[in-house]
Amino acid sequence: MIEPTLPSVPVSADSPIADLTYRNYDGPLHSRAVRWWTIAVAMFKLHTRPLSFKIVGAIATLPYLFIIALLWLQGQIASAQGGRPSFLVSTGLVDMTVGQKFAIQFYNALGYQLLYLVILTLIAGAGSIASDNRNNALLIYLSKPITKNDYLLGKWMGLFLALFAAAFTPAILLYLYCLVSYYSDGFLRDEPRLLLHVFTCTALAAATLTSIMIGLSAWSKSPRITGAILASLYFAGQAVAFAMWRYSSQGDPGKDVILAHSSIGGAISGLSQGIYGVTVHTLRGSMRRGFRTVDYPPPSGTIMWAMVLGLILVGVVAARIKIRAVEVIS
């Protein structure tokens, strides 16, 4: 007997029984231009949902809390001691040079935070395109009315926003703290473009890590391998750059600055230093030979910009080449 297994009821507007069989969708549609944003939003939610991301993100705020504590402490000591420089200043933890008093703290904070950003990138991003490859998710994406560029841009933006949010939120909190506490001290007057610099440096750090991760991820089917490769590129790269610099400069921090910054982390931090425009004052020497302050101005801006933009470009291009639409149906 041929029995209809799905309810077939007379389709009349007056029927008390609703017709719940399949119907088409003829409703409104968004324009094509925003498709990548849909992907970006979905990816952002996906990246920021795991508990590990939230925890590491929370840990990544610690450097800023530390700096808030330093500045507060400095303020307390300064008012107690009058004009004499506090131990914080003399050890270089706090830099009172006008014009970079605060910028340098942001610069330092970014330096500490980079490690956590890399970890966040690993947590969030390794899965990004690699797990799509493994799960054949590209079949789904590319069979929709989107282009490869939409897909790539969406993925990139999703990861970037996740990393940027994690990096920028504590920075903006620090900025607001400084604004509130040190406004009378000339916070805005002395360093008017600081907010812009914070935004730019954080964005560049996030963009660089995102691009490299996306670039690696597109070539792999295994999120773990991708993560391992990024981690080794970052950390081993840093170690190698340091070793080369050590050899070439015999330990003199003033020499071969570019070489010292020839790693992912180095390039980001070198560029940030340039953008913030801070000169790092450090104490060098020993108890025996006595201490002296040495100044390290930011490394050449052009070269740093080239390195960072180069890394971003390489990552994006590598991903673009690899994404093939054609394997949609096996």
Partner 1 sequence: MAVATITDLTVRYGKKTAVDGLTVEIPEGCVGLLGPNGAGKTTLLKTLLGFLQPVSGSGEVLGLNVATDGLKLRQKIGLMPEIDCHIPGMNAVTFVAFCGEMAGMPAAQALRRAHETLQYCRLGEARYRDLETYSTGMKQKVKLAQALVHGPKLLFLDEPTNGLDPDGRDEMLNLVRDVSHGKGLNVIVSSHLMPDIERTCDSVVVIRNGKMVRQGTIAELRTLDTVQWTVDLRIPSHEFQARLVEQGARLLSNAGSHYRFEFKLQPGADIGSLMLTTAKHVGAQVRGFEPASRSLEEVFMEAIA
Listed residue (107, 151, 133, 314) closest to 221, CA to CA: 133
> Is residue 144 close enough to count as binding partner 1 by CB under 8 A?
yes
- For partner 1, which stretch binds (CB under 8 A), given 128-136, 212-220, 232-240, 283-291? 128-136
Are the CB atoms for 211 and 320 separated by under 8 Å?
no
> Given the complex with partner 1, which of 22 and 83 has the nearer CB atom?
22
Which helix (H) or strand (E) covers residue 239, if one does?
A: helix 223-249
Does 90 interact with partner 1 (rule: CB under 8 A)? no
Residue among 13, 16, 31, 290 that touches partner 1 (CB under 8 A):
31
Instruction: Give the DSSP letter of residue 222.
Output: -
Contact (CB, 8 A) for 188 and 246: no
Any contact of residue 38 with partner 1 (CB under 8 A)? Answer: yes
Nearer to partner 1, 67 or 142 (CB): 142
Give helix 62-81 / helix 103-125 axis angle, nearest 10°.
Answer: 160
CA 189 to centroid of chain Cα atoms: 29
Is 40:154 a contact under the CB 8 Å cutoff?
yes
Identify which of residues 138 and 229 has a Cβ nearer to partner 1 in the complex: 138
Closer to partner 1 by Cβ: residue 223 or 274: 223
Sign for the CA dihedral angle at 210, 264, 279, 167 comes to positive
Nearer to partner 1, 137 or 240 (CB): 137
Taking the complex as a whole, the smallest distance from the CB of residue 145 to partner 1 amounts, in Å, to 4
Given 13, 30, 180, 290, the residue binding partner 1 (CB under 8 A): 30
Rounded Cα distance, 75 and 178, in Å: 11
43-82 residues in contact with partner 1 (CB under 8 A) are 46, 49
329 binds partner 1 (CB under 8 A): yes
φ, ψ at 283 (rounded to 5°)? -85, 125
Measured CA to CA, the distance from residue 242 to residue 236 in angstroms comes to 10
Minimum distance of partner 1 from residue 56's CB (angstroms): 17
Q: Is 200 a binder of partner 1 (CB under 8 A)?
A: no
* 286 to 315: interface string for partner 1, x by CB under 8 A: ------------------------------
Asked if 12 is part of the footprint of partner 1 (rule: CB under 8 A), the reply reads no
x-marked contacts with partner 1 along 232-271 as a string, rule CB under 8 A = ----------------------------------------
Cα→Cα distances 215→46, 125, 278, 318, 325, Å? 19, 10, 32, 5, 17
Binding residues with partner 1: total (CB under 8 A): 41
The one among 10, 16, 28, 83 contacting partner 1 by CB under 8 A:
28
Contact segment (CB under 8 A) with partner 1 among 35-43, 98-106, 167-175, 238-246 equals 35-43
Task: Find tokens 């101005």 and name the residue.
Answer: 297
| Longest Cα–Cα distance in the chain | 102
Task: State the minimum distance, in angstroms, from the CB of residue 233 to partner 1.
Answer: 24
Taking each helix axis as running N to C, give the angle between helix 35-48 and helix 103-125, from 0 to 180 degrees, rounded to the nearest 10.
90
Smallest distance, Å, CB 244 to partner 1? Answer: 39
Decide: is 326 part of the binding site for partner 1 (CB under 8 A).
yes
86's tokens: 């506090």
**For residue 156, which of 203, 211, 116, 231 has the smallest C-alpha distance?**
211
Question: Cα dihedral sign for 181, 116, 97, 289?
Answer: positive
Which CB, 302 or 330, lies closer to partner 1?
330
Binding site for partner 1 (CB under 8 A): 5-6, 20-32, 35, 38-39, 42, 46, 49, 127, 131-132, 135-137, 139-147, 325-326, 328-330
